[in-house]
């Protein structure tokens, strides 16, 4: 299986870094082919703006969705976007790994989605190519995330509420909308307060999940 690993954490020596490294080794050992986009390491531009388009359909008024469709049709999207789009086309499974910040995803990952999940390639709203007919139908998506708060705080009755409610804009609003099959998320709660031994247990659990893909 071709696996694209989208990684969004600024510190390679963090527990997130350990999760990512474990994934690279485990997936390769299982015979999968892996490509990784380490967004902080490559200093991925996180802002969708007119500079993303080498040609414009309407140079006087910037409509991102319109220009994305035009960019797909003319092959005039920025090179870094084209590179990431190529990885998406290649992948059978896309794993998104990130820390949960302010009960959401890091801005750099949101920017990657804004710029790379372009109209005309992942969905075509005008032609009804969404959800079951989304243009990424047949591909799978999975979230791997860490939180600073405990599992209890992110439970349905906890002070934050169910974490999956916060992840729904990604799992439903992006993945399902684009036609992808959403695999169960792997969440490490309270990562910032774990002991080394507790971290090792979580790494083993993650390896087991990946071995079962």
Residue ranges of alpha helices (H) inside the chain are: 15-29, 64-74, 79-90, 107-116, 163-170, 196-211
In sequence order, the β-bridge partners of residue 146 are 99, 188
**CA–CA distance, 73 with 174 (Å, rounded to integer):** 22
Residue 86 Rama label (left phi>0; alpha psi -120 to 50; beta) = alpha
Catalytic residues: 148, 154, 160
Widest Cα–Cα separation across the chain: 58
Residues with Cβ < 8 Å from 200, sequence gap 6 or more?
none
């Amino acid at each position: 299986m071709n696996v694209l690993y989208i990684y969004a954490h600024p510190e390679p020596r963090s527990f997130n870094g350990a999760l990512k490294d474990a994934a690279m080794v485990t997936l390769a050992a299982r015979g999968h082919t892996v490509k990784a986009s380490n967004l902080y390491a490559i200093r991925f531009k996180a802002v969708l703006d007119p500079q993303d388009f080498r040609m414009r359909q309407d140079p006087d008024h910037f409509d991102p969705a319109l220009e994305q469709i035009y960019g797909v049709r003319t092959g005039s999207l920025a090179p870094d976007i084209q590179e990431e789009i190529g990885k998406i086309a290649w992948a059978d499974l896309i794993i998104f790994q990130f820390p949960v910040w302010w009960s959401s995803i890091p801005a750099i990952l949101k920017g990657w989605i804004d710029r790379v999940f372009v109209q005309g390639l992942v969905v075509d709203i005008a032609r009804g190519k969404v959800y079951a007919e989304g243009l990424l139908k047949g591909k799978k998506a999975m979230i791997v995330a860490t939180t600073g708060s405990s599992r209890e705080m992110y439970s349905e009755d906890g002070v934050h509420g169910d974490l999956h409610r916060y992840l729904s804009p990604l799992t439903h609003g992006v993945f399902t909308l684009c036609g992808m099959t959403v695999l169960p998320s792997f969440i490490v709660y309270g990562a910032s307060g774990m002991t080394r031994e507790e971290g090792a247990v979580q790494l083993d659990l993650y390896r087991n999940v990946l071995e079962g893909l």
